[in-house]
Amino acid sequence: MKVFREYLPRALVAGLIVVVPLYLAVLLILKAMGSLAGLVRPVAALLPEWMPAVQLMSLLLVLLLCLVVGMIVQTPWGRAARERAERLLFERIPGYALLRSLTQRLAGNSNDNEDVWKPALVEIEDALVPAFIIETLDDGRCTVFVPSVPTPLAGAIYILAGERVHALEVPFTQALKVISRWGHGAKELVAAMEPGRNR
């Protein structure tokens, strides 16, 4: 019963972390489509009545807009504008920077020199525990997130001495897969730690 009481809140939090951003993204897309419906209605009237032309054209326009914005932010000028907007606006939102780095790691777009969400094995008591480095403090200690199994987006936060934190040269997604598979594949994580045992 105790295991069930501990597992249920973790499962709920893990589900919320997945469902809420997805739900908000769908709501935003639907809202944008509704805003563009009036704009595309005259062109949609030229198409057959059986076709949901207004909705399709609104969706295509939203996707086209996302594509154009994505192409713009890939340019040096666009990157500078995005970074400025993030610094002035978005980073004031609690947790934004951390979630941004997490999504970049999941997408495989993170800066390799960046330690945020870097896979690691940490020494807790007499064991090596899979974890993610969140930040390195000025005194050399590290803030690490130790995920729970099998819901890797719920867990505990530790601040550990740097010598107890062993960064791994493995992709974020590989470490996430090991955790979500109840540790299957951990031998690759241990092998990735061996060449440079200490950070």
Q: Are 114 and 104 within 8 A, CB to CB?
A: no
Q: Read off the pLDDT band of 165 (50, 70, 90).
A: very high
Q: Residue 15 belongs to what H/E stretch? A: helix 2-44
Q: pLDDT tens for residues 95-106?
A: 666 666 666 665
How far apart (Å, rounded) are the C-alpha atoms in residues 137 and 45? 61
- How many Cβ atoms sit within 10 Å of the Cβ of residue 124? 15
Better pLDDT: 160 or 116: 160
Q: What is the strand order of the sheet 155-160 is part of?
A: 155-160, 142-147, 127-136, 118-124, 165-167
The secondary structure of residue 71, as a DSSP letter, is H
The pTM score is 0.50
- Span 170-183, pLDDT tens digits: 887 778 788 878 88
Specify the pLDDT at position 99.
66
* pLDDT score for 55: 85
Instruction: Please give the average per-residue pLDDT across 189-193, as a whole number.
Output: 80
Check whether 160 has a pLDDT greater than 90. yes
Boundaries of every domain in the chain: 2-107, 118-193
- Residue-wise pLDDT tens digits, 16-74: 667 777 787 888 888 888 888 888 888 777 777 787 778 888 888 888 888 888 888 88
Name the more confident of 53 and 119. 119
Asked whether the beta carbons of 129 and 160 are under 8 A apart, the reply is no
Average pLDDT, the chain: 78
**CA nearest 81: which of 103, 90, 98?**
90
Distance CA 148, CA 186 (A): 15
CATH of 118-193, one of 1.10.357, 2.30.30, 3.40.1800, 1.10.287: 2.30.30
